[in-house]
Structure 1
Amino acid sequence: MVTLTAINDENDQKLFDEQVAAAAAAEAAEQEYSDVGSDDEDAEEDEDDEFDIDETIYERVVALKDIVPPQHRVFASKAASTIYDWASAGFSFGGKAIYIITSSSLLLGVPLALSIMSEQQLNETEAEMKLAQGSNDIVAPGATTAVAPAATA
């Protein structure tokens, strides 16, 4: 613990020096003769060993610089750079491929789908016409249409 003391005069300076020397001697004697620490000292040491709660992930990563050797850091940096480059190229290629597939399907697939639908509609119309003609034959077999005169034999 640090205390600040204002010194005004030479006598006060000598008194202060004596007090500082006495405090230092008392502290040295206390450290020299005390084999067993108090609970307060143990608690303070435990608090120092614990992690700093306000420490961020970035600060922890920066602290790894002291632990990890330089050749391993260079290898990790190159590996991360390579992975980033491959991922970037993959996403770029994937985006371009999706664009090509989508635009091709719109330009080719939509007209093809419309032509298939119109062909199917035409087939349904022809089937309805045949059914209508077949129902006319059932109602009046051998009858001719009103437009054409009946043939005499």
Structure 2
Amino acid sequence: MTTGIAASRPRTSLPRALARIALGAFLLVAGISHLTTNREAFQAQVPEWLPLDADFVVLASGVVEILLGLALIVLPRQRVLVGWVTAAFFVAIFPGNISQFVTATDSFGLNTDLARGIRLLFQPLLVLWALWSTGAWRDWRIRRSSTSAER
């Protein structure tokens, strides 16, 4: 017998579950590359105005990506919370992408304004991916409609 939020939360579909696991795998690979092969490339994306050491930012964000990736894969019962946290993380790192565009910083083969601009368009898609694949957006809509129905 389940109680509380879990009892009212709809089960996730296979496409959503696969998308959540794929996002988790993507974050794991990206996080590991922060700590290893792409460390310098990620450092180039840290905005100069950020009052933190670029290497620290890259290492910390890599660890966060690894933890989020693992959480997306191994904590399906917490998927809604993990979805919101993952979406917030993607929003938090967006200024780095904007900075790379504004300062025309070459990194990851993004050596034109067009390439850097196209990359900016993918960040909102990552936010949507996190919210859809975890059911976070659906859960919020259900809660909102049930709350307004109770009024």
TM band (smaller chain): under 0.3
Greater C-alpha Rg? 1
TM-score (norm 1): 0.21
TM-score (norm 2): 0.21
